[in-house]
Structure 1
Protein backbone atom coordinates (compact mmCIF):
# COMPACT_ATOMS: atom_id res chain seq x y z
CA UNK A 1 0.00 0.00 0.00
CA UNK A 2 1.33 3.46 -0.90
CA UNK A 3 1.86 6.11 1.77
CA UNK A 4 -1.00 8.12 0.28
CA UNK A 5 -3.51 5.28 0.55
CA UNK A 6 -2.28 4.40 4.03
CA UNK A 7 -2.85 8.02 5.05
CA UNK A 8 -6.30 7.95 3.43
CA UNK A 9 -7.32 5.00 5.61
CA UNK A 10 -6.08 6.76 8.75
CA UNK A 11 -7.92 10.00 7.90
CA UNK A 12 -11.12 8.18 6.96
CA UNK A 13 -11.04 6.27 10.24
CA UNK A 14 -10.61 9.50 12.22
CA UNK A 15 -12.87 11.92 10.35
CA UNK A 16 -15.35 9.72 8.51
CA UNK A 17 -17.35 10.89 5.50
CA UNK A 18 -18.47 14.43 4.76
CA UNK A 19 -16.46 15.98 7.59
CA UNK A 20 -13.93 18.78 6.92
CA UNK A 21 -10.24 17.95 7.20
CA UNK A 22 -8.43 21.25 7.74
CA UNK A 23 -4.72 20.78 7.16
CA UNK A 24 -3.47 23.76 9.16
CA UNK A 25 -5.24 22.49 12.30
CA UNK A 26 -3.66 19.03 12.16
CA UNK A 27 -0.33 18.12 13.74
CA UNK A 28 0.47 15.56 11.04
CA UNK A 29 3.83 14.63 12.53
CA UNK A 30 2.33 13.71 15.89
CA UNK A 31 -0.79 12.03 14.49
CA UNK A 32 0.51 10.27 11.40
CA UNK A 33 4.30 10.50 11.54
CA UNK A 34 4.34 12.70 8.43
CA UNK A 35 5.89 16.18 8.24
CA UNK A 36 3.66 19.07 7.15
CA UNK A 37 5.06 19.41 3.63
CA UNK A 38 4.72 15.69 2.91
CA UNK A 39 1.25 15.71 4.46
CA UNK A 40 0.09 18.44 2.08
CA UNK A 41 1.71 16.65 -0.86
CA UNK A 42 0.04 13.33 -0.03
CA UNK A 43 -3.39 14.99 0.28
CA UNK A 44 -2.85 16.76 -3.03
CA UNK A 45 -1.94 13.44 -4.65
CA UNK A 46 -5.03 11.76 -3.19
CA UNK A 47 -7.14 14.59 -4.60
CA UNK A 48 -5.59 14.12 -8.05
CA UNK A 49 -6.32 10.40 -7.78
CA UNK A 50 -9.96 11.25 -6.86
CA UNK A 51 -9.55 9.44 -3.55
CA UNK A 52 -10.58 12.55 -1.61
CA UNK A 53 -12.50 15.76 -2.34
CA UNK A 54 -11.34 19.33 -1.81
CA UNK A 55 -13.74 21.98 -0.47
CA UNK A 56 -11.22 24.78 -0.84
CA UNK A 57 -7.47 25.26 -0.58
CA UNK A 58 -6.21 23.31 2.44
CA UNK A 59 -9.59 21.77 3.31
CA UNK A 60 -10.51 18.24 2.19
CA UNK A 61 -13.29 15.75 2.90
CA UNK A 62 -14.39 12.24 1.96
CA UNK A 63 -17.66 12.45 0.05
CA UNK A 64 -20.31 9.77 0.24
CA UNK A 65 -22.34 8.77 -2.80
CA UNK A 66 -26.11 8.96 -2.83
CA UNK A 67 -26.97 5.64 -4.46
CA UNK A 68 -30.45 6.81 -5.50
CA UNK A 69 -29.27 9.97 -7.24
CA UNK A 70 -25.79 8.67 -8.05
CA UNK A 71 -24.34 11.95 -6.79
CA UNK A 72 -21.50 12.73 -4.42
CA UNK A 73 -22.15 14.79 -1.31
CA UNK A 74 -20.87 18.32 -0.81
CA UNK A 75 -19.90 20.07 2.39
CA UNK A 76 -22.55 22.55 3.48
CA UNK A 77 -21.42 26.15 3.95
CA UNK A 78 -22.36 26.03 7.63
CA UNK A 79 -20.34 22.87 8.28
CA UNK A 80 -17.36 24.40 6.49
CA UNK A 81 -17.56 27.64 8.48
CA UNK A 82 -18.05 25.81 11.78
CA UNK A 83 -14.97 23.66 11.20
CA UNK A 84 -12.84 26.64 10.16
CA UNK A 85 -13.85 29.05 12.90
CA UNK A 86 -15.78 27.33 15.72
CA UNK A 87 -14.68 23.76 16.39
CA UNK A 88 -13.18 20.60 14.94
CA UNK A 89 -13.86 17.31 16.66
CA UNK A 90 -13.93 18.14 20.37
CA UNK A 91 -11.62 21.14 20.11
CA UNK A 92 -13.39 24.48 20.55
CA UNK A 93 -11.91 27.72 19.18
CA UNK A 94 -14.97 29.82 18.39
CA UNK A 95 -18.65 30.45 19.00
CA UNK A 96 -21.75 32.11 17.56
CA UNK A 97 -22.35 35.63 18.82
CA UNK A 98 -24.50 38.71 18.16
CA UNK A 99 -28.14 38.26 17.20
CA UNK A 100 -27.45 34.65 16.17
CA UNK A 101 -26.68 33.81 19.79
CA UNK A 102 -29.30 36.14 21.31
CA UNK A 103 -31.91 34.41 19.19
CA UNK A 104 -30.63 30.98 20.27
CA UNK A 105 -30.87 32.07 23.91
CA UNK A 106 -34.45 33.32 23.33
CA UNK A 107 -33.79 36.82 24.65
CA UNK A 108 -34.72 38.46 21.34
CA UNK A 109 -37.02 37.86 18.39
CA UNK A 110 -34.84 39.86 16.02
CA UNK A 111 -33.79 37.92 12.94
CA UNK A 112 -30.09 38.28 12.08
CA UNK A 113 -29.23 39.42 8.57
CA UNK A 114 -25.94 37.53 8.83
CA UNK A 115 -24.37 34.95 11.09
CA UNK A 116 -21.83 36.42 13.52
CA UNK A 117 -19.00 34.29 14.88
CA UNK A 118 -16.11 34.99 17.24
CA UNK A 119 -12.98 32.90 16.64
CA UNK A 120 -9.46 32.45 18.00
CA UNK A 121 -8.35 31.26 14.58
CA UNK A 122 -8.08 34.68 12.91
CA UNK A 123 -5.86 37.70 13.53
CA UNK A 124 -8.37 40.28 12.28
CA UNK A 125 -12.08 40.51 11.54
CA UNK A 126 -13.21 39.05 8.23
CA UNK A 127 -16.31 38.32 6.14
CA UNK A 128 -17.17 35.01 4.46
CA UNK A 129 -19.70 35.49 1.66
CA UNK A 130 -21.22 32.07 1.00
CA UNK A 131 -24.89 31.15 0.63
CA UNK A 132 -25.22 33.03 3.94
CA UNK A 133 -23.08 35.98 4.95
CA UNK A 134 -20.80 35.27 7.90
CA UNK A 135 -19.01 37.98 9.87
CA UNK A 136 -16.08 36.58 11.84
CA UNK A 137 -14.71 38.58 14.77
CA UNK A 138 -11.23 38.18 16.20
CA UNK A 139 -11.59 36.81 19.74
CA UNK A 140 -10.77 39.10 22.67
CA UNK A 141 -9.10 36.15 24.44
CA UNK A 142 -8.27 32.53 23.65
CA UNK A 143 -11.48 30.52 23.34
CA UNK A 144 -11.60 27.10 25.00
CA UNK A 145 -14.13 24.39 25.78
CA UNK A 146 -14.39 25.71 29.34
CA UNK A 147 -14.79 29.46 28.71
CA UNK A 148 -16.69 29.86 25.43
CA UNK A 149 -20.16 30.02 27.00
CA UNK A 150 -19.08 32.74 29.40
CA UNK A 151 -17.54 34.69 26.53
CA UNK A 152 -20.82 34.42 24.62
CA UNK A 153 -22.67 35.87 27.61
CA UNK A 154 -20.10 38.65 28.07
CA UNK A 155 -20.51 39.58 24.39
CA UNK A 156 -24.27 39.69 24.89
CA UNK A 157 -24.03 41.84 28.03
CA UNK A 158 -21.59 44.16 26.27
CA UNK A 159 -24.30 44.92 23.68
CA UNK A 160 -27.26 44.36 26.02
CA UNK A 161 -29.46 47.28 24.93
CA UNK A 162 -29.34 46.26 21.26
CA UNK A 163 -29.69 42.53 21.82
CA UNK A 164 -32.03 41.86 24.73
CA UNK A 165 -35.79 42.39 24.36
CA UNK A 166 -37.11 40.35 27.30
CA UNK A 167 -37.48 41.63 30.87
CA UNK A 168 -34.22 41.87 32.81
CA UNK A 169 -35.16 39.13 35.29
CA UNK A 170 -36.00 36.79 32.40
CA UNK A 171 -32.67 37.58 30.71
CA UNK A 172 -30.85 36.85 33.98
CA UNK A 173 -32.65 33.53 34.26
CA UNK A 174 -31.77 32.49 30.70
CA UNK A 175 -28.12 33.52 31.08
CA UNK A 176 -27.73 31.72 34.41
CA UNK A 177 -29.25 28.55 32.98
CA UNK A 178 -26.95 28.71 29.95
CA UNK A 179 -23.90 29.03 32.22
CA UNK A 180 -24.99 26.25 34.57
CA UNK A 181 -22.12 23.89 33.67
CA UNK A 182 -19.47 26.55 33.04
CA UNK A 183 -16.78 26.64 35.72
CA UNK A 184 -13.60 28.71 35.54
CA UNK A 185 -11.17 30.22 38.02
CA UNK A 186 -11.57 33.66 39.55
CA UNK A 187 -8.36 34.75 37.83
CA UNK A 188 -9.64 33.71 34.39
CA UNK A 189 -12.98 35.44 34.98
CA UNK A 190 -11.25 38.69 35.92
CA UNK A 191 -8.92 38.38 32.94
CA UNK A 192 -11.83 37.91 30.52
CA UNK A 193 -13.81 40.84 31.93
CA UNK A 194 -10.80 43.11 31.57
CA UNK A 195 -10.74 42.44 27.82
CA UNK A 196 -14.06 44.28 27.42
CA UNK A 197 -14.75 48.05 27.35
CA UNK A 198 -16.04 49.95 30.40
CA UNK A 199 -19.66 49.79 29.23
CA UNK A 200 -19.65 46.08 30.15
CA UNK A 201 -19.06 47.02 33.80
CA UNK A 202 -21.85 49.61 33.68
CA UNK A 203 -24.30 47.06 32.29
CA UNK A 204 -23.24 44.42 34.82
CA UNK A 205 -23.96 46.93 37.58
CA UNK A 206 -27.09 48.58 36.18
CA UNK A 207 -28.76 45.29 35.20
CA UNK A 208 -27.64 43.43 38.34
CA UNK A 209 -25.77 40.85 36.25
CA UNK A 210 -22.65 40.39 38.38
CA UNK A 211 -24.30 37.40 40.08
CA UNK A 212 -24.81 35.77 36.68
CA UNK A 213 -21.14 35.73 35.77
CA UNK A 214 -20.05 35.10 39.37
CA UNK A 215 -21.95 31.81 39.18
CA UNK A 216 -19.23 30.45 36.90
CA UNK A 217 -16.42 30.72 39.48
CA UNK A 218 -15.39 27.32 40.79
Structure 2
Protein backbone atom coordinates (compact mmCIF):
# COMPACT_ATOMS: atom_id res chain seq x y z
CA UNK A 1 0.00 0.00 0.00
CA UNK A 2 1.24 3.51 -0.86
CA UNK A 3 2.75 5.00 2.34
CA UNK A 4 0.95 8.35 1.91
CA UNK A 5 -2.37 6.60 1.33
CA UNK A 6 -1.77 4.40 4.41
CA UNK A 7 -0.99 7.48 6.52
CA UNK A 8 -4.15 9.23 5.34
CA UNK A 9 -6.32 6.19 6.12
CA UNK A 10 -4.81 5.81 9.59
CA UNK A 11 -4.94 9.50 10.52
CA UNK A 12 -8.12 10.64 8.77
CA UNK A 13 -10.18 7.61 7.77
CA UNK A 14 -12.93 7.73 5.16
CA UNK A 15 -14.98 10.76 4.08
CA UNK A 16 -12.84 13.17 6.12
CA UNK A 17 -11.27 16.25 4.52
CA UNK A 18 -7.53 15.86 4.02
CA UNK A 19 -5.57 19.09 3.63
CA UNK A 20 -2.20 19.18 1.88
CA UNK A 21 -1.14 21.89 4.34
CA UNK A 22 -1.70 19.52 7.28
CA UNK A 23 0.00 16.60 5.55
CA UNK A 24 3.15 18.66 4.97
CA UNK A 25 3.45 19.18 8.73
CA UNK A 26 2.75 15.59 9.72
CA UNK A 27 4.35 13.33 7.12
CA UNK A 28 8.11 13.01 6.75
CA UNK A 29 8.61 13.41 2.98
CA UNK A 30 9.51 16.35 0.77
CA UNK A 31 6.84 18.66 -0.61
CA UNK A 32 7.60 17.52 -4.15
CA UNK A 33 7.25 13.83 -3.28
CA UNK A 34 4.01 14.54 -1.44
CA UNK A 35 2.55 16.38 -4.44
CA UNK A 36 3.51 13.51 -6.75
CA UNK A 37 1.91 10.96 -4.42
CA UNK A 38 -1.31 12.95 -4.11
CA UNK A 39 -1.57 13.39 -7.88
CA UNK A 40 -0.92 9.69 -8.48
CA UNK A 41 -3.51 8.66 -5.87
CA UNK A 42 -6.01 11.16 -7.27
CA UNK A 43 -5.46 9.98 -10.86
CA UNK A 44 -6.09 6.38 -9.74
CA UNK A 45 -9.26 7.36 -7.85
CA UNK A 46 -7.85 6.32 -4.48
CA UNK A 47 -8.18 9.96 -3.38
CA UNK A 48 -11.01 12.26 -4.42
CA UNK A 49 -9.92 15.84 -5.07
CA UNK A 50 -12.38 18.42 -3.72
CA UNK A 51 -10.30 21.39 -4.89
CA UNK A 52 -6.63 22.35 -4.84
CA UNK A 53 -5.12 21.23 -1.55
CA UNK A 54 -8.19 19.31 -0.31
CA UNK A 55 -8.84 15.57 -0.75
CA UNK A 56 -10.70 12.69 0.88
CA UNK A 57 -10.90 8.91 0.73
CA UNK A 58 -14.28 7.66 -0.40
CA UNK A 59 -15.68 4.51 1.21
CA UNK A 60 -15.35 1.56 -1.14
CA UNK A 61 -19.02 0.62 -0.75
CA UNK A 62 -20.35 4.09 -1.64
CA UNK A 63 -23.24 3.90 -4.10
CA UNK A 64 -22.75 7.47 -5.28
CA UNK A 65 -21.70 7.68 -8.90
CA UNK A 66 -20.42 11.22 -8.35
CA UNK A 67 -18.82 11.06 -4.90
CA UNK A 68 -18.94 14.20 -2.77
CA UNK A 69 -17.52 15.06 0.59
CA UNK A 70 -19.62 16.98 3.11
CA UNK A 71 -18.83 20.62 2.26
CA UNK A 72 -19.84 21.89 5.72
CA UNK A 73 -17.31 19.47 7.22
CA UNK A 74 -14.61 20.76 4.86
CA UNK A 75 -15.34 24.36 5.86
CA UNK A 76 -15.34 23.55 9.60
CA UNK A 77 -12.04 21.69 9.35
CA UNK A 78 -10.35 24.34 7.23
CA UNK A 79 -11.51 27.44 9.08
CA UNK A 80 -12.92 26.52 12.51
CA UNK A 81 -11.36 23.42 14.12
CA UNK A 82 -8.48 21.24 12.94
CA UNK A 83 -8.42 17.45 13.04
CA UNK A 84 -6.39 17.61 16.28
CA UNK A 85 -9.13 19.76 17.88
CA UNK A 86 -7.34 23.11 17.79
CA UNK A 87 -9.86 25.95 17.45
CA UNK A 88 -8.79 28.33 14.67
CA UNK A 89 -12.08 30.13 14.03
CA UNK A 90 -15.72 30.55 14.97
CA UNK A 91 -19.16 31.30 13.56
CA UNK A 92 -20.11 34.96 13.95
CA UNK A 93 -22.95 37.27 12.98
CA UNK A 94 -26.63 36.41 12.77
CA UNK A 95 -26.08 32.66 12.44
CA UNK A 96 -24.28 32.58 15.78
CA UNK A 97 -27.11 34.65 17.30
CA UNK A 98 -29.52 32.06 15.89
CA UNK A 99 -27.50 29.21 17.44
CA UNK A 100 -27.84 30.88 20.84
CA UNK A 101 -31.58 31.45 20.38
CA UNK A 102 -31.41 35.25 20.19
CA UNK A 103 -33.13 35.34 16.80
CA UNK A 104 -35.12 33.15 14.45
CA UNK A 105 -33.37 34.68 11.45
CA UNK A 106 -30.49 33.06 9.58
CA UNK A 107 -28.14 34.24 6.86
CA UNK A 108 -27.65 32.22 3.69
CA UNK A 109 -23.97 33.21 3.76
CA UNK A 110 -22.35 32.25 7.07
CA UNK A 111 -19.70 34.52 8.57
CA UNK A 112 -16.59 32.83 9.96
CA UNK A 113 -13.88 34.69 11.84
CA UNK A 114 -10.67 32.72 11.42
CA UNK A 115 -6.90 32.64 11.67
CA UNK A 116 -6.83 31.04 8.22
CA UNK A 117 -7.21 34.15 6.08
CA UNK A 118 -4.88 37.04 5.42
CA UNK A 119 -7.56 39.42 4.13
CA UNK A 120 -9.78 41.56 6.39
CA UNK A 121 -12.97 40.23 4.80
CA UNK A 122 -13.90 38.32 1.67
CA UNK A 123 -16.36 35.75 0.34
CA UNK A 124 -15.24 32.33 -0.84
CA UNK A 125 -17.13 29.59 -2.67
CA UNK A 126 -17.00 25.88 -1.85
CA UNK A 127 -18.94 23.93 -4.46
CA UNK A 128 -22.15 26.03 -4.48
CA UNK A 129 -21.86 27.22 -0.88
CA UNK A 130 -20.74 30.78 -0.10
CA UNK A 131 -18.95 31.66 3.12
CA UNK A 132 -17.78 35.07 4.32
CA UNK A 133 -14.35 34.94 5.96
CA UNK A 134 -13.13 37.64 8.33
CA UNK A 135 -9.63 37.95 9.70
CA UNK A 136 -9.50 37.71 13.48
CA UNK A 137 -8.41 40.74 15.49
CA UNK A 138 -6.12 38.45 17.51
CA UNK A 139 -5.04 34.83 17.18
CA UNK A 140 -7.95 32.51 17.97
CA UNK A 141 -7.24 29.66 20.39
CA UNK A 142 -9.14 27.03 22.37
CA UNK A 143 -8.92 29.34 25.37
CA UNK A 144 -10.20 32.61 23.87
CA UNK A 145 -12.60 31.79 21.04
CA UNK A 146 -15.73 32.07 23.19
CA UNK A 147 -14.59 35.43 24.54
CA UNK A 148 -14.03 36.77 21.02
CA UNK A 149 -17.29 35.27 19.78
CA UNK A 150 -19.30 37.00 22.51
CA UNK A 151 -17.47 40.31 22.06
CA UNK A 152 -18.35 40.19 18.35
CA UNK A 153 -21.95 39.47 19.29
CA UNK A 154 -22.14 42.35 21.79
CA UNK A 155 -20.86 44.70 19.12
CA UNK A 156 -24.01 44.08 17.06
CA UNK A 157 -26.47 42.84 19.69
CA UNK A 158 -29.10 45.49 18.99
CA UNK A 159 -29.10 44.47 15.30
CA UNK A 160 -29.31 40.67 15.70
CA UNK A 161 -31.29 40.00 18.88
CA UNK A 162 -35.08 39.72 18.73
CA UNK A 163 -35.60 39.07 22.44
CA UNK A 164 -35.40 41.06 25.67
CA UNK A 165 -32.12 42.02 27.29
CA UNK A 166 -32.87 39.74 30.25
CA UNK A 167 -33.44 36.75 27.96
CA UNK A 168 -30.31 37.60 25.98
CA UNK A 169 -28.25 37.66 29.17
CA UNK A 170 -29.61 34.27 30.23
CA UNK A 171 -28.82 32.63 26.88
CA UNK A 172 -25.35 34.15 26.61
CA UNK A 173 -24.53 33.15 30.18
CA UNK A 174 -25.67 29.63 29.38
CA UNK A 175 -23.26 29.55 26.44
CA UNK A 176 -20.44 30.79 28.69
CA UNK A 177 -21.31 28.28 31.42
CA UNK A 178 -18.15 26.77 32.96
CA UNK A 179 -15.97 29.26 31.06
CA UNK A 180 -15.41 31.49 34.13
CA UNK A 181 -14.39 34.63 32.26
CA UNK A 182 -12.95 37.41 34.43
CA UNK A 183 -12.35 41.05 33.60
CA UNK A 184 -8.63 40.22 33.44
CA UNK A 185 -9.35 37.65 30.71
CA UNK A 186 -11.14 40.34 28.71
CA UNK A 187 -8.52 43.08 28.97
CA UNK A 188 -6.27 41.85 26.11
CA UNK A 189 -9.22 41.88 23.68
CA UNK A 190 -11.62 44.66 24.64
CA UNK A 191 -9.30 47.33 23.18
CA UNK A 192 -10.03 46.00 19.70
CA UNK A 193 -13.77 46.70 20.02
CA UNK A 194 -15.92 49.86 19.98
CA UNK A 195 -17.06 51.51 23.20
CA UNK A 196 -20.61 50.15 22.86
CA UNK A 197 -19.22 46.61 23.14
CA UNK A 198 -17.70 47.46 26.52
CA UNK A 199 -20.92 49.19 27.59
CA UNK A 200 -22.98 46.10 26.71
CA UNK A 201 -20.48 43.90 28.52
CA UNK A 202 -20.65 45.98 31.68
CA UNK A 203 -24.43 46.27 31.58
CA UNK A 204 -24.91 42.54 31.13
CA UNK A 205 -22.18 41.61 33.66
CA UNK A 206 -20.97 38.70 31.54
CA UNK A 207 -17.84 38.10 33.57
CA UNK A 208 -16.76 37.09 37.05
CA UNK A 209 -14.67 39.12 39.44
CA UNK A 210 -11.13 37.75 39.74
CA UNK A 211 -10.44 35.80 42.90
CA UNK A 212 -8.81 37.84 45.65
CA UNK A 213 -5.34 36.78 46.78
Within-5 A mapping of 1:31-110: 31-67=26-62, 69=63, 71=65, 73-89=67-83, 90-110=85-105
Q: Do the aligned residues in 2 keep the contact of 1:108 with 1:165 (CA within 8 Å)?
A: yes
Give TM-score, length-normalised by structure 2.
0.87
2:117 is aligned, of 107, 116, 122, to 122
SS at match of 2:173: helix
Question: Given that residues 98 and 156 in structure 1 are in contact (C-alpha distance below 8 angstroms), is that contact kept between their aligned partners in structure 2?
Answer: yes
1:10 aligns with 2:3: no
**8 Å CA contact 1:93, 1:143 repeated in 2:** yes
In the other structure, the counterpart of 1:192 is 189
Structure 1 alignment gaps of length 5 or more: none
Conservation of the 8 A alpha-carbon contact between 1:20 and 1:60: yes
Question: Quick one: distance in 2 between partners of 1:65 and 1:24?
Answer: 25
SS of 1:92's partner is coil
Structure 2 SS opposite 1:118: strand
The CA deviation string for residues 20-43 of structure 1, in whole angstroms up to 9 with x for no partner, is 111123443xx3222333222321
Please tell me whether the aligned partners of residues 91 and 145 of structure 1 are also in contact (alpha carbons under 8 angstroms). yes
TM superposition outliers: structure 1 runs of 4+ over 3 Å: 25-28, 69-73, 183-188, 215-218
Structure 1 pair 191/18, CA: closer, same or farther in 2 (3 Å)? same
Does 1:178 find its partner at 2:172? Answer: no
Equivalent pairs, count: 208
> How far apart, CA to CA, are the structure 1 residues paired with 2:177 and 2:31?
40
Structure 2 alignment gaps of length 5 or more: none
